[in-house]
Amino acid sequence: MIPALSAPSPVEESPPDTRCRILATAERFFREIGYQKTTVADIAKTLRMSPANVYRFFDSKKAINEAVVARIIGEVEARIAAVAGRPGLTAEARLREVIVFLHRDAVGRFTGHPRMHEMVEAAMSESWDVCRHHVDRITAVLERVIADGAAGGEFSVEDPAVAARCVHTAIVRFCHPVLVVQCPDDFVPDLDVMIAFLIGALKAGWAAPTAT
């Protein structure tokens, strides 16, 4: 068993507070020693509670990891949503900022941090719904910006939802946690070139092909 991390003395607290302490402690373990090496017993020991008490809030270590990853990606989603709604910027500028942020966040969060990468890989293999919902929320932000651009005459697209999914697919290479870690030297074309290409396509009157 891994030695417990230091923790403050237990105090009387509400269930939501206990849940938050479990998640904070689990995230520290996942970052410092890795998801695979962490056990629920380690988390419980640090919090001075029994594993059974932890299981009152999360039915498995997988469920804890889902919640930790959901909290991390929720921060990312909040940041890009704020950019998407920023007043005074063109849709083109907002779209560029969203894509650049997603790339820089992925590189900064996962490059050189193999234990963080391990945590996300576990979520991708064990908790795909969390990742799928994250993809959907990012695509929704892209759709919002593209729709604003279409409404304002910056972009010429018939279906912002389809265009957003195309843009998201095109930038996966630059923001996928596995790809940015395992293939750090393969950003070809580079991000600025890809963004310019995508914005050019949105301005050029792109339309999804019709079914025949």
pLDDT of residue 102: 93
The answer to whether 22 touches 13, Cβ cutoff 8 Å, is: no
Task: Give the closest residue to 35 by CA, choosing from 65, 9, 2, 66.
Answer: 65
Report the chain's mean pLDDT, rounded to a whole number: 85
Instruction: Convert the pLDDT of each residue in 52-87 to its tens digit.
Output: 999 999 999 989 988 888 888 888 999 999 999 999
Q: What is the pLDDT, as a whole number, of residue 69?
A: 85
At 155 the pLDDT is 96
Q: Is the pLDDT of residue 117 over 90?
A: no
pLDDT of residue 116 exceeding 90: no
Q: Tokens representing 18?
A: 């206990």
Work out the burial of residue 169: count CB atoms within 10 Å of its CB; fewer than 13 is exposed, 13-18 middle, 19 or more buried. Answer: exposed
Q: What's the pLDDT score for residue 181?
A: 67
Q: Environment class of residue 189 by beta-carbon count within 10 Å: exposed (0-12), middle (13-18) or buried (19+)?
A: exposed
Select the more confidently predicted residue: 176 or 36: 36
How many residues are listed for the chain in this entry? Answer: 212
Q: Is the confidence at residue 112, as pLDDT, over 70?
A: no
User: Is the pLDDT confidence value at 93 over 80?
Assistant: yes
Cα(102)–Cα(81) distance, integer angstroms: 12
Q: Of all residues in the chain, what percent carry a pLDDT higher than 90?
A: 53
Sorting pLDDT into bands at 50, 70 and 90, what band is 138?
A: very high
Which amino acid makes up residue 158?
Answer: E
Top-ranked range on mean pLDDT: pick from 7-16, 69-78, 165-174: 165-174
Question: Taking residues 88-112, what's their average pLDDT?
Answer: 89
Give me the helices (H) in the chain, please.
Answer: 15-32, 40-46, 51-57, 61-84, 91-110, 114-126, 128-151, 160-175, 177-182, 191-203
Report whether the peptide linkage leading into residue 189 is cis, meaning its omega lies within 30 degrees of zero.
yes
pLDDT at 49: 93
pLDDT digits (tens, 9 = 90+) for 83-92: 999 999 999 9
The reported pLDDT for the residue numbered 2 is 45
Q: Report pLDDT for 9.
A: 44
Q: Is 80 exposed, middle or buried (0-12, 13-18, 19+ CB in 10 A)?
A: buried
DSSP string, 115-166: HHHHHHHHHHHH-HHHHHHHHHHHHHHHHHHHHHHHHTTS---S-HHHHHHH
Q: Kindly tell me the sign of the dihedral angle through the C-alpha atoms of 111, 115, 118, 120.
A: negative
Number of H helices, E strands in the chain: 10, 0
